[in-house]
Structure 1
Amino acid sequence: MKKTTTLLLLLCVSMATAFAQIVDSKVVENGSSGPYKAIAATEASLPNYVVYRPKDVKAAAKAEGKLPIIVFGNGGCSNTSITHEKVLSEIASRGYVIVAIGPLARTLAPKPTSTESSMLLDAVTWITAQSKDKKSEYYQRVATDKIAAMGQSCGGAQTLYVSSDPRIKTSILFNAGIGNMTMAGASKASLQQLHGPIAYIVGGPSDIAYANAELDYDRIDTVPVALATLTAKGHMGTFDEAFGGSFSQMALAWLDWQLKGKNSRSTVFLDKDLGKFPGWSVKAKRF
């Protein structure tokens, strides 16, 4: 009897290990304001990233269809997304799965370490594998044909660098522009390697990236591009505001249009329908 009980216990432990992916998690702003309460999670097979996602992925996918995917690079190319978590949790709560570089953190480390741009593509590879694994919670619940790359400041340069990858369908650069610099592998040559629509979401002239974002916008001549500017804000935009402030909402307008096919959201960029975006200006071309 004792031997049988031990075998049953080992079997239960084995099953739990196979199916329990999340090994740590936290809730940002009570799960954010969207219809699918979000969590920030560490996955057992991806310890050096945070997955911002609806807590109940199954329910979200049932309501939305397969959930679009975002990979995210942090300001300073650092290994923590804690300074961006309000925006990321808010977007996740609207039916997205975001894989952000850096392990889960509850406080900001005094000296975050630097990361490589290739980590964004590693994140794409991981979530793609999860979508095909019958044991995974993401199995047939994420849309591997609807992947965005997104990043802030130096993470925006990482985003630009990987945006030539054919798996990336669209990109968002927050408070970022390459101009005449070389950063995280990206340079002005990267602008000619874009194959999908790209959006720049920046602060006004007090944003150190503002001039470079304007220059990138002028130089891009092969793909659709939009530049959205919140004039009164600087280099961190509204990342520290409740639910990520209007940076979250501007990003969602773009993502809903580009990845969820909600063409009504295009009016923000194409028709400058900014009634819900006071203080913003937008321009777009090649659409």
Structure 2
Amino acid sequence: MQRLFITLICLIPSLCFAKTANYKVIDEGGSGPFSAIAATETSLSDYVIYRPKELNQSIKLPVVVFANGGCMDTSYPFEHMLSDIASHGYLVIALGKMQNSLDDRPLNKASNSMIPHAIDWITAQSANPLSEFYQSANLEKIAIAGQSCGGAQLLATGADKRVSSYLMFNSGIGDMTMASADVDSLHNLHAPVIYLVGGPTDIATDNAKLDYQRINHVPIVFANHKTAGHSGTFEQPFGGSFSKLAIKWLDWQLKDKQTNATLFLQGQTADFVSWDIKAKQF
């Protein structure tokens, strides 16, 4: 009866509280000042939470929800980047259960609804005094990110007014229909967006260029790594330069670090020599 009661009340997010079931450490906790872990939480078992190991109620962390390449339910190929973002002071909620290798369980498509559900969950946890995440999240600063097909999932759910920034990795909708998104879904975007693509060998680059041309209602950045291809630099330690550039964007958009603006608005890429960057509507 007690187990049944717990199951029933945990259908209501505000009554559930997070408890870390297991975790792992990637790249020795990341390159940032917060030592990060990748964790499974009992009340959100179909996701991975990349987060500082130690949470402090006096430091409210911006939130990033990440949808994976292929619209799959695994963030394993992106864990170097996602862990490193977390180490710079972010709560990253990625779609799909924890994995220790890409073939340790069957993979499936992740539903678009998992994106707003992640925001619902962290909102409830941050308000729940019983949760480890109590008062840990800055709910005024939430980003959605997606790689390849995950970017289409971003566009399909981008109208969510709780979102204040978007990151499209190796993704663009162009004239396609994917994950219930199409060209009309660009109008769902209501906050600044950055596209990060991998040059002429990235199959998403041409579509991303079309999106950049067509988006004229929100601030937008187009960042093109000349040689990375569709797989970016995600398998490199700390996620490589895709991760570094994403953190610069997040620190600007979600932490108001205005010194990062010139990198994106003036294309000053001394620290990102492989990238071409342009912007409009700022």
Q: TM-score, normalised by structure 1?
A: 0.90
Q: Which residue, out of 77, 94, 97, partners 2:71? A: 77
Q: In structure 1, the residue corresponding to 2:114 is in which secondary structure?
A: helix
Please identify, of 214-223 and 112-121, the stretch whose mean Cα deviation from structure 2 is larger: 112-121
For the 8 Å contact 1:68–1:142, the answer to whether it is kept is yes
> 1: distance between equivalents of 2:183 and 2:73?
25
For the 8 Å contact 1:25–1:40, the answer to whether it is kept is yes
- Matched residue, 1:11: none
For the 8 Å contact 2:47–2:96, the answer to whether it is kept is yes
Matched to 1:250, the amino acid is L
The 5 A counterparts of 1:1-287 are 21-58=19-56, 62=58, 65-109=59-103, 112-287=107-282
> 2: distance between equivalents of 1:20 and 1:225?
35
For the 8 Å contact 1:163–1:170, the answer to whether it is kept is no
- Deviation track 1:224-266 (CA, whole Å, cap 9, x = no partner) reads 0001010011001100111000000110111111100001111
Matched to 1:55, the amino acid is K
Q: In structure 2, the residue corresponding to 1:168 is in which secondary structure?
A: coil
> 1: distance between equivalents of 2:175 and 2:201?
19
- Deviation track 1:190-241 (CA, whole Å, cap 9, x = no partner) reads 1122111110001001000000000000000100000101001100110011
Q: In structure 1, the residue corresponding to 2:260 is in which secondary structure?
A: helix
> 1: distance between equivalents of 2:191 and 2:22?
35
- Matched residue, 1:4: none
Matched to 1:105, the amino acid is Q
For the 8 Å contact 2:157–2:188, the answer to whether it is kept is no
> 2: distance between equivalents of 1:45 and 1:81?
18
Alpha-carbon distance, 1:285 to partner:
0.2
Q: In structure 1, the residue corresponding to 2:175 is in which secondary structure?
A: coil
Alpha-carbon distance, 1:19 to partner:
7.3
Q: TM-score, normalised by structure 2?
A: 0.92
For the 8 Å contact 2:128–2:134, the answer to whether it is kept is yes
Q: In structure 1, the residue corresponding to 2:34 is in which secondary structure?
A: coil
> 2: distance between equivalents of 1:177 and 1:108?
25
The structure with the largest alpha-carbon Rg is 1
Give the structure with the larger helix fraction.
1
> 2: distance between equivalents of 1:27 and 1:145?
28
Using the aligned pairs only, state the percent identity: 50
> 2: distance between equivalents of 1:159 and 1:193?
9
Q: In structure 2, the residue corresponding to 1:181 is in which secondary structure?
A: coil
Matched to 1:33, the amino acid is S
Q: In structure 1, the residue corresponding to 2:207 is in which secondary structure?
A: helix
Q: In structure 2, the residue corresponding to 1:57 is in which secondary structure?
A: coil
> 2: distance between equivalents of 1:258 and 1:127?
20
> 2: distance between equivalents of 1:183 and 1:168?
21
Matched to 1:184, the amino acid is A
Gaps of 5+ in 2: 1-15
Matched to 1:240, the amino acid is E
> 2: distance between equivalents of 1:74 and 1:20?
23
Alpha-carbon distance, 1:33 to partner:
1.0
